[in-house]
Amino acid sequence: MSTTIIFATYNQSKAAEIRSRLPAFLQIQTLAELGMQEDIPEPYDNLKENAAAKSQTIHRLYHQNCFSEDTGLFVLALHGAPGVHSARYAGIPPDNNANIEKLLHHLQGVENRQAYFQTVISLIFHDQEFFFEGICSGQITSERIGDKGFGYDSIFIPDGSNKTFWEMELAEKNFYSHRRKATDQFITFLQNQPVWNG
């Protein structure tokens, strides 16, 4: 028997990454698949509160178990920027190409390329909220590399690899991924719960 839980995102690439980790008993439904079109504000200056805002909004609207995630790229030489503003670093509406160009511009001539991705998942399960976190450390390249992935994947090489996320197939990216680490905690939590409905 499978159970469906709402994933508070319109981002199909994020949904694909999470679906690749799900056990057979668990299915997710994105906001687009629900027919929702409204944008959910992310007004806070940290990932945890933004993730919570999204899941709480969906729970209030649909009264179902749901989860959301917020992810940021934190560059040490830029005092943590773009951080919580990663998706809208170059302005609104979000533009991946413009975000990358802005980040590479700010890092011109900078030797310290250390950075990390962080994902926080907020799960609302039977009216209680739980959080799961994953971090992946690495380096920012000096130019784009690769032709797969999304976001900043083409300029981030995780520690322990010589490839950018954009060069990797999904299974290889999941070995390192911040989102995979948070998702695995989320799945383990659900697997340890009694059988639940809705």
Q: Residue 49 and residue 22: Cα distance in Å, rounded?
A: 25
Q: Which residues are catalytic?
A: 70
Q: Residue 69 and residue 58: Cα distance in Å, rounded?
A: 12
Structure tokens at 85: 């503003």
